[in-house]
A and B are shown apart, each in its own frame.
Chain A
Amino acid sequence: MIYSEKVMEHFQNPRNVGVLKNADGVGQVGNPVCGDMMTFYIKVEDNRIADVRFQTFGCGAAIAVSSMVSEMALGKTLEEAMEISNKSVAEELGGLPKNKLHCSNLGADALHKAIENYKKRQKATKKDQPAKSADKAKCYCPYCEGSLEGMEGFCKECQIELEECGECGMPKRKGAKECPHCGKTKVIV
């Protein structure tokens, strides 16, 4: 078996799977092109992660990593949870095969995004503005995951021009033959 016992155990019995309907923060990473997609939902009470749920589309490692991250995050303060790194997740799982290490990045990233999303919402509420839906993927650059709010057809973070994919309507790099959302490709002739 390519995976450690711990990975297989989490894969078989993943903790905290599901959706939190009234989550305080939501973080989504990945897209089907790179293989995995993860969504983390958190509930925050007194600056601590009081509840956490995740959903994952991906391989055994991706599922085990999400499960482990959720377990590690539960009960931690937001600052402590931000400290959870891909390295610590992989260690807790008893190691991951080299070509699966990127899955552990995704897990920690998704959690961190959920925390950032929570903080953003907090600020927005303070300013008495309605919180914007975080999981509206259209507002995010598909390449760097940076926010596209208020930007039309340009991602500030990775400095690329974007256009709507004719197939699925999601943003993609201008002129790109392959959409990162629906994967519509042109066959080379």
Chain B
Amino acid sequence: MRRVYLDHTATTPLHPQVFEAMIPYLKEKFGNPQSLHFVGQEALNAIEEARERVAGLIKAQPEEIYFTSSGSESNNFALKGFALAHRSRGNHIVLSVIEHQSILHSAKNLEKIGCTFSYVPVDEYGMVDPEEVKKVLTKETILVSIMLANGEVGTIEPVAEIAKVCRNHDVLFHTDGVAAVGNIGVDVTKLKVDSLSLAGNQFYGPKGCAALYIKKGARIFSFIDGGIQEKGRRAGTENVAGIVGLGKASEIAKDILEQRIEKVKPLRDKLIQRLPQKVEHVRITGHPERRLPHQTSFCIEFVEGEAMLLSLDMQGVAASSGSACTSRELKASHVLLAMGINHATAQGSILFSLIEETTLEDIDYLLEVFPPIIDRLRKMSPLYTKFLEEKEK
């Protein structure tokens, strides 16, 4: 059976060159970068080279890059680190309603120690209006955190404009760039954010290695206390092989980003164009233009996401969904609900995200196997029956 992987949002595969670059650091170059001897120095040189490469991808300075274990850790680091370091100035933080759980759940915990939060809404396309951010800023506001792009619906937020609003009000600005970095061009000198998180497994790097960009001079609390690793802000023996992999993935992304976009975007566009032609009552979610080039998400009316995923899985297609039944906590995607999509429609969420290996044949195969799946599930659906009955009346 054909195997079609369309779940970039969950993780990308490891680029073969990244794999090759990592191997020596799992074998003979096993040193601890903090050791004085030549074995340690070899590892230290490797992570510093990786730091330069990651910095190069987002046009930062190498000393502004802090390695972490995941995008979630980077987001926790920024939110909690800034909140704690700036408490004397205030305790009010602004988020968007569509932030990743690593931001939203950090906020829940920060509330317990007295931080207060305001949540700015998004429009039907999942876009934040910078004016809305401006409206909720108070004298107490110390931080705003709005994602660069939403991995679920693909919408790219007006981060540079929001950052400008924050600068004018002397408020720190963090952006969760996990879904964006490595997939679209990201330049921190243009965005002018105070911090940005990124994760290797979103652009063909390894899992378990990510980074937080912290603008030089920004005051932040250390996230893990211990040794002097990552300038004491994130202690713990470095994941050397992972860091080397993240560095290599960053170097590749910087070199061939345009080619990657040119390759996946037309395939993605074909999917966006053809699926609604083949299947009725399909809604495309996210912004029509300002969106990540490799992904597309739909809400298929009258059917439920997990049932679609299982059926696609049996046909060898790997995708994802924001339906309540797919999530462990059995809640529909907060992103879709925030965009004004009702619960029943959100249940029909399905997300296809392409990787650089995706071919035209893969997309054609999906377009061939998916409509009959929807058809079968709709025939079982009481909602569809009701819809047809009402249509007849």
Contact = CB atoms under 8 A, between A and B. Distances in A.
A58 B304 contact: yes
Nearest to B344: A32
Interface size class of A (residues with CB under 8 A): 20 to 34
Interface string A40-78: 000000000000000111111111000000000000000
A60 B312 CA distance: 12
A33 interface: yes
B345 to A, nearest CB: 8
Interface string B332-373: 100001101011111100000000000000000000000000
Nearest to B380: A17
Given A12-B314, A32-B343, A56-B380, A187 B304 contact: no
Given A11-B310, A187-B338, A182 B325 contact: no
Contact of B383 (A17, A19, A57, A63): A57
A14 B379 CA distance: 12
Given A57-B382, A63-B380, A35 B119 contact: no
A179 to B, nearest CB: 8
B323 interface: yes
Contacts of B384: 57
Nearest to B306: A59
Given A17-B380, A35-B330, A189-B121, A57 B97 contact: no
B381 A55 contact: yes
B393 to A, nearest CB: 14
Interface string B87-127: 00000000001000000000000000000001111100000
- Among B305, B306, B323, the most chain A Cβ lie within 10 Å of the Cβ of B306
B13 to A, nearest CB: 21
A35 B121 contact: no
Contact of A59 (B325, B346, B379): B325
A9 B342 CA distance: 31
A184 B345 CA distance: 11
Contacts of B342: 32, 182-184
B328 interface: yes
Nearest to A167: B342
Interface in B305-329: 305-307, 310, 314, 323-326, 328
Contacts of B60: none
A185 B379 CA distance: 29
A11 B308 CA distance: 11
B302 interface: yes
Contacts of B383: 32, 37, 57
Interface in A104-132: none
Q: How large is the interface on B (under 10, 10 to 19, 20 to 34, 35 or more residues)?
A: 35 or more
Contacts of B379: 17
Contacts of B97: 187-188
B385 interface: yes
B304 A35 contact: yes
Nearest to B310: A60
A36 B323 CA distance: 11
A189 B95 CA distance: 10
B264 interface: no
Contacts of B337: 183, 185
A38 interface: yes
A89 B314 CA distance: 24
Contact of A188 (B119, B302, B330, B380): B119
Nearest to A66: B380
A159 interface: no
A185 B82 CA distance: 32
Nearest to A98: B328
Contacts of B307: 11, 58-60, 62-63
Given A35-B304, A35-B325, A57-B382, A99 B344 contact: no
B382 A38 contact: yes
A86 interface: no
Contacts of B381: 55-57
Contacts of B344: 32, 57, 182-183
B385 A58 contact: no
B119 A189 contact: yes
B303 interface: yes
B306 A60 contact: yes
Given A32-B347, A187-B121, 7 more contacts: A32-B343, A34-B324, A35-B324, A39-B382, A59-B323, A59-B325, A188-B121
30 contacts: A11-B307, A11-B310, A12-B314, A19-B385, A28-B382, A34-B330, A37-B382, A38-B382, A55-B380, A56-B380, A56-B381, A57-B304, A57-B344, A57-B382, A57-B383, A58-B307, A59-B325, A59-B326, A61-B325, A62-B307, A63-B380, A183-B337, A183-B342, A183-B344, A183-B345, A184-B342, A185-B337, A187-B97, A187-B122, A187-B340
Interface of B: 97, 118-122, 132, 136, 302-307, 310, 314, 323-326, 328, 330, 332, 337-338, 340, 342-347, 379-385
Q: 7 nearest interchain CB pairs?
A: A183-B343, A32-B344, A59-B325, A183-B342, A59-B306, A55-B382, A187-B121
